A and B are shown apart, each in its own frame.
Chain A
Amino acid sequence: MATPLVELRNISIAFGGIKAVDNVTVDLYPGEVVGLLGHNGAGKSTLIKCLSGAYRRDSGQILINGEEVQINNPRDAKALGIETIYQALALADNVDAAANLYLGREILTRWGTLDDVAMEAEARKVMGRLNPNFRRFKEPAKSLSGGQRQSVAIARAILFNARILIMDEPTAALGPHETQMVADLIHELKRQGLGIFLIDHDVHSVKKLCDRAAVMKNGQLVGIVKVDEVTEDDILAMIILGKRPDQLTPKDKEAVH
């Protein structure tokens, strides 16, 4: 089997004595979408933040393409091609799409000033591939719809050659049409060989978008399953009861159903 794109090995993080993440191991292959599920406080966001550089792990290893790496801040993560698309749709609301796309990595003219025209041109190219209907390059991000913001955020990641994408409930605030748009986007990204971690509450969308699902409860990994091989109820049981499908008793099945 090929080398995983990402391996998180035996990761633990504690906050003031409470283990938010307890010895969790997860991997991700190119062109694959792995869903991370669990209740609020199950530790999925904390786990993923040590990959994106927002938190530092207490113990464990991170391997990218089979090599151990150190990720101490968001900059390190970005340098390794890890991009995060946050739940809060982290765009600066008051600047336009092109500026958001290039935030932190602006194109400069030879005099060291911002080259807005060049950035807009690049933005148009990238968005043309992702979301050809997008036109509103010069408007502040706050006037964009949820789906448009999501596509700007994803375009931002692609623009910088992200290989590993972390998406935090990408379809949470969206209507059916826009959800479909994001699903198409994710398929396109998979086709281009990116690996995606997808954090979500919604079992239905995980089943639809992901290849595998990793379920966490109380900071521990319950298990990793291929979504094709299990039912939605099985995944629900993992979230609620913290048991893998093979551990379920008939009574448990009854309770979840």
Chain B
Amino acid sequence: MVTTTERGGSGQDIRRDNPIKAFFRATELDTRILGMVGAMLVIWVIFDVWSGMLRPNEGLFGGAFLTPRNLWTLLVQTSSIAVMTTGMVLVIVMREIDLSVGSMLSMVAVFGAVLQVYHLGPALGVGHPAIWIIAMAACLLAGTLVGAFNGYLIAFLQIPSFIVTLGGLIAYKGVAFLLASGETVAPMDKTFKIVGGGVPEGWLGPFWSWTLGILACIGIVLALISGRKQRKKFGFPLRPIWAEVTLAAIGSAAVLGTTRVVTSYPWPFKLIEQYATANNVPIPQGVEDKSGAAICMAGDQIVRCTDGLIYYTGYAAPVLIALIVGGAMTFLASRTRFGRYIYAIGGNPEAAQLAGINTRLVTVKVFALMGFLVGLSAIIASARLDAATNALGQSNELYVIAAAVIGGTSLAGGVGTVYGALLGALTMQSIQSGMQLLNLPAAFQDIVVGTVLVIAVFVDQLYRRRIK
């Protein structure tokens, strides 16, 4: 037996610290991330209060921002950038950069669209079930190959990644243009479109959303228990029980809170009406209420009302994809050899090489992975827009890199987390969406986003210096 109860996980004696420090030490919570979450919540409240002053709405503070609808939309709007950001973190951690992701997204999206609209549609018949499978597989494969090609140039021909991907930024844009002669290619296949989350088929619904949320909570608890068991087996210091419980509570609260929000956003009533009519769902009788989200029959008219037929959206497909990707990438970064090597290369490339790591191969793999994620984002973005053009995704690289950096990824390499980057992406989209909600001029939005980027990095540096 080890004397463990009064020790934090990192082994320091916590009795000397003040209660707040003791709390963070015992729970090993990333204070940096908590700070970011705090800052984002403050931004949310400001937007809600401000928009409420312009036009009262149902938000938590009387505005339009902290409503299930806006938060749901915010998550959907973030997903395409978020998926790419998880890969960009690893690229930057490895001391590389990928400036080509935006143009690559255009290229892959147009490629997938041309394939399904101009080739597969006419060949197999529009709506054929093989179309979406082939189109998606082709997008993912194309992205992976292009990424691997970037990686090959960087790792084996020793061209700096800045140059290779700057070239890619310019060249892939050209390819995107040529693939469709600069035209907008639309519409996407019916099933393909589901991934964009713009149609009811792309919404998980309350039942599955809650099921998934509860499973995630169980997962969190099991992971904590198995970690504790494992440490106990080797006789390592353990977290106090209260800290474990707190961690489980925080994790579950975040999951269930998000689930609660997305399951409170009802389908737009027009879509309920369309669905009910198309599927012969009986619509109950009721009293008209123009502010209601449900529908009911008043005589033989379909009207809006408070009590009646109503469906809730739950998690939208692109959000689900982004969350799964976030989880998978976190796992990859922290629990696999591949992830460990990426960080080691970022920390000291020479040491990594001397340790026998095939740094070139890892580089190619990381860029291929980045390409795969760009392919996935291209699917999400084109499915959501229900069209692909060479303008789609352009300059996304700036937002992807900014999200990673706001999320605490150091451009010097070696440092960065997937969840931090996801938070960075969400924060940035919050600011943009919030300002659009307030109908602020676009130029002003640019100024704010740019300023936030710089401030975030500055605050981060202050924080790191203090920690040292």
Contact = CB atoms under 8 A, between A and B. Distances in A.
A84 B348 contact: no
Interface in B192-247: 230-231, 233-234, 236
Nearest to A86: B354
Given A114-B335, A117-B236, A95 B354 contact: no
A94 interface: yes
B404 to A, nearest CB: 16
Interface string B321-363: 0000000000100111100100111111011111111000000
Interface in A103-161: 103-106, 108, 112-114, 117-118, 120-121, 135, 137-139, 141, 143
Interface string A78-108: 1000001010101111110001100111101
A139 B335 CA distance: 17
Nearest to B9: A138
A95 to B, nearest CB: 6
B414 A93 contact: yes
Given A135-B11, A138-B10, A114 B354 contact: no
B415 A94 contact: yes
Given A86-B354, A104-B355, A138-B10, A117 B347 contact: no
Q: Which of B10, B231, B340, B357 has the largest count of A CB atoms less than 10 A from its CB?
A: B340
B233 to A, nearest CB: 7
Contacts of B231: 117
A178 B233 CA distance: 34
A104 B230 contact: no
Nearest to B332: A113
Given A92-B343, A94-B415, A114-B335, A78 B356 contact: yes
A91 B357 CA distance: 13
A114 B348 CA distance: 20
Interface string A44-61: 000000000010000000
Contacts of A139: 10
A74 interface: yes
A108 B337 CA distance: 8
A191 interface: no
Contacts of A121: 234, 236
Contacts of B344: 92, 94-95, 99, 103
B233 A94 contact: no
In this complex, the interface size class of chain A, counting residues with CB under 8 Å from chain B, is 20 to 34
Contacts of B230: 117
B10 A75 contact: no
A75 B234 CA distance: 31
Contacts of A143: 468
Contact of B11 (A108, A112, A138): A138
B357 A104 contact: yes
A141 B351 CA distance: 12
A90 B347 CA distance: 10
Contacts of A90: 348, 350-351, 354
Give the interface centre of B345, B350, B354, B355 by most chain A CB atoms within 10 Å. B354
Interface string B298-332: 00000000000000000000000000000000010
Given A92-B352, A99-B344, A114 B336 contact: yes
B350 A103 contact: no
Given A90-B354, A91-B351, A106 B340 contact: yes
Contacts of B334: 114
B234 A95 contact: no
Nearest to B93: A94
A90 B337 CA distance: 19
Nearest to B348: A92
Nearest to B335: A113
A113 B338 CA distance: 10
A104 B414 CA distance: 17
Given A75-B356, A103-B344, A114-B336, A94 B234 contact: no
B227 to A, nearest CB: 8
Contacts of A78: 356
Contacts of A108: 337
Contacts of A93: 347-348, 414
A123 to B, nearest CB: 11
B234 A74 contact: no
Given A94-B347, A104-B352, A117-B236, 19 more contacts: A74-B354, A91-B351, A92-B352, A92-B414, A94-B343, A94-B344, A104-B357, A106-B337, A112-B336, A113-B331, A113-B336, A114-B334, A117-B231, A135-B11, A137-B11, A138-B9, A138-B11, A141-B347, A143-B468
28 contacts: A74-B353, A74-B356, A86-B354, A88-B350, A91-B351, A92-B344, A92-B347, A92-B348, A93-B414, A94-B346, A94-B415, A95-B347, A99-B340, A103-B351, A103-B357, A104-B352, A104-B355, A105-B355, A106-B340, A112-B336, A113-B331, A114-B335, A114-B337, A117-B231, A117-B233, A117-B234, A117-B236, A141-B347
Closest 3 CB pairs of A and B: A92-B347, A104-B355, A94-B347
Interface of A: 54, 74-75, 78, 84, 86, 88, 90-95, 99-100, 103-106, 108, 112-114, 117-118, 120-121, 135, 137-139, 141, 143
